């Protein structure tokens, strides 16, 4: 999934910040706020992630389409979801 969205972000730092946020959101961190996500990523404070969310340039529509396509392709597998 990661490689399929890399070119949506202009700067390499933005790609790294996205990865850090996703890793934190998918982790066992009990509270999913920027302080906790930054700590999980090894940052001393949430400034880097706040800057990413507030100022980084990316095509939100394109990112959404790619995540949707990935989810549809992955969940389409017979054993992807167990009830």
Q: What is the pLDDT of residues 11-52, one digit of tens each?
A: 999 999 999 999 999 999 999 999 999 999 999 999 999 999
How big is the chain, counted in residues? 83
Q: Euclidean distance between the first and final Cα of the chain, in Å?
A: 24
Q: What is the model's pLDDT at position 14?
A: 92
Using CA atoms, how far apart are residues 18 and 25, in angstroms rounded to an integer?
A: 10
Q: What is the model's pLDDT at position 80?
A: 63
**pLDDT above 80 (res 82):** no
Return the biggest CA–CA distance within the chain: 43
């Amino acid at each position: 999934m990661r490689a399929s969205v890399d070119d949506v972000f202009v700067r390499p730092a933005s790609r790294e910040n996205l990865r850090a946020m996703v890793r934190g959101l998918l982790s066992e961190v009990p509270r999913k706020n920027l302080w906790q996500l930054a700590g999980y990523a090894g940052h001393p404070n949430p400034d880097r992630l706040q800057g990413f969310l507030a100022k980084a340039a990316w095509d939100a529509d394109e990112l959404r389409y790619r995540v949707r396509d990935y989810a549809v392709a992955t969940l389409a597998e017979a054993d992807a979801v167990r009830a």
